[in-house]
Structure 1
């Protein structure tokens, strides 16, 4: 391998994929009441436990990876004289990226020759995971880190992330969207559609009356704007995968050449979205705007 890759638990990548492709990763923690749960490893929090706690009205919060945790991992790679690139959860949604930047600066004071690169993916969930997978393909094809970063940084600007959340109050409580947007979402049968803007923050794109119409609009915009050079999209969900499967069927009926993956959202993301979230991730022809 020409370089090592690292990411975090918000990328929605399976443990088997991470292990198979030798990807280092750190996990955020989720607090339910006064109990703290890990999001990686054999005892990682599962979504059923988390969603049950949310339904019961328990207080749920996430904690970002701190600089000390990053420093420990970065130093391990530096001492092994390995080049490392960390693809981070969007700086517009978490302080995790900044923690990694601080850790890198601390490491370089001690080991100036360390080759550690921190990338702000400006993405969340499987959008972040999509970028990690593309980086793996580039590395495994023998590309250097500089060559890979040139491709990755261009992809970051074209990655589209579209969300529909059943209960926007979860996002409002965490400060991810304005309370006024959440208020609209509580109106009868109104489904605000969200995306991730060029700064990596969530924003409301439009309001649609009815879940069926909202899903149709998500599919239509995704397929219209997709880059045919990247005929691959990811559908993520929280709760059951029934709606995700229906969306996959609709997409393949219209565009059978597209590869469609379905993945559950990570507990870190579900903490802020609750049950019934649907997201579609793809690479568009144009830059985000």
Structure 2
């Protein structure tokens, strides 16, 4: 029986992949300078302009997806009798997944048959996107809903995220670090390295001095931790720095031979938190 894959706009997949796999998307919203914008995977959202505003020092806030939005999204498939898998943004980073679960409970009170599986990917950005992409490939190849749910649950903690933030002052503006830490970090040219842990929470992993060293750190850690590379893609995400993403791709290909490497910019929801210049590498490896 056919089924529908749904994810949210924090997966940051390129629009062409969303359309290729007929993924349905639940959209986050972003507020910048008092104006609310919809993260629509680049259909109408001007990411370049948004990234430049971040580069100039503007800050943006994001809002979790509410229960009503999930009800509207899921209800259509319930009424059609079409099974659904929802692959959601880490519950440690947003309350959105809880909203999805509440929406499912409300639908189960209204309808007799609700074939809806909600999965916490414990991932974000193109780490979530990589898991969704490889799940979509398996669906495209004919994997059943039950088998795909099992595969995702069995493999989701094998997806690694290596993240560096270039604009440490952006973390201060967003209230994520103190002014003192930001000033010292800027003077020393410190670049934080962040990962997602087993719970799907962003945690500090290391600090290096200088942009080139931070990019090399991501490359080295990816090479060290990658597994079964010939069967999996590597994703590289960035905020307004495609030339750095190309550099990382070239250096990775000198050491490893993944099935493919896909480069894509972050969506605005994630970029609002990382700031301009952030870059990440996502790959399949040993369980976190």
| Structure 2 equivalent of residue 237 of structure 1 | 238
Partner of 2:126: 126
What SS does the aligned partner of 2:76 have?
A: helix
Separation in 2 of the partners of 1:116 and 1:148?
13
CA apart distance, 1:250: 0.8
1:215 aligned partner = 215
Partner of 1:277: 278
Rounded Cα–Cα distance in structure 1 between residues aligned with 2:85 and 2:112: 16
Deviation at 1:43, TM superposition (A): 6.1
- CA change 1:187–1:122 in 2 (3 A) is farther
CA shift for structure 1 position 187: 4.3
SS at match of 2:254: helix
**TM alignment of 1:102-113, pairs within 5 A:** 102-113=102-113
Give the structure 2 partner of residue 255 of structure 1: 256
Aligned residues: 286
SS at match of 1:48: helix
Q: Structure 1 residues 133, 231: closer, same or farther in 2, change over 3 A? A: closer
Q: CA deviation at 1:4?
A: 0.7
Q: TM-score, normalised by structure 1?
A: 0.91
- Cα offsets for 1:18-41 (capped at 9, x unmatched): 222121112111111221111117
Q: Which runs of 5+ in 2 are unaligned?
A: none
Comparing 34-43 with 11-20, which one deviates more in the overlay?
34-43
> 1:97 Cα deviation (Å)?
0.9
Secondary structure class of the residue paired with 2:92 = coil
CA distance in 2, matches of 1:41, 1:260: 20
Range 144-153 or range 46-55, more displaced = 46-55
For the residue of structure 2 that corresponds to 1:254, the secondary structure is: coil
Deviation of 1:245 (Å):
0.3
Paired residue secondary structure (2:241): coil
| CA deviation after TM superposition for structure 1 residue 209, in Å | 2.1
Could you tell me how far apart the structure 2 residues matched to 1:104 and 1:277 are?
35
Task: Give the 3 Å change call, closer, same or farther, for CA 52–218 of structure 1 in structure 2.
Answer: closer
Aligned partner of 1:70 in structure 2 is 70
User: Displacement, 1:107?
Assistant: 0.8
Q: Which residue of 2 aligns with 1:140?
A: 140
- Residues 134, 152 of structure 1: 8 Å contact kept: no
**Worse-matched range after superposition: 82-91 or 140-149:** 140-149
Instruction: Please give the root-mean-square deviation of Cα atoms over the aligned residues, in Å.
Output: 2.1
**Aligned partner of residue 186 in structure 1, secondary structure:** helix
- CA gap of 1:279–1:109, structure 2 versus 1, over 3 A, is same
Aligned pairs (5 A) from 1:1-289: 2-40=2-40, 44-171=44-171, 174=174, 179=178, 185-228=185-228, 230-256=231-257, 258-284=259-285, 286-288=286-288
Compute the TM-score of the two structures, normalised by the length of structure 2: 0.91
Change (3 A) 1:173 1:256: same
Structure-1 separation of matches of 2:177 and 2:101: 28
Name the CA shift for 1:123/1:187 in 2 (closer, same or farther; >3 Å).
farther
Q: Which whole-Å CA distance do the structure 1 matches of 2:154 and 2:166 have between them?
A: 32
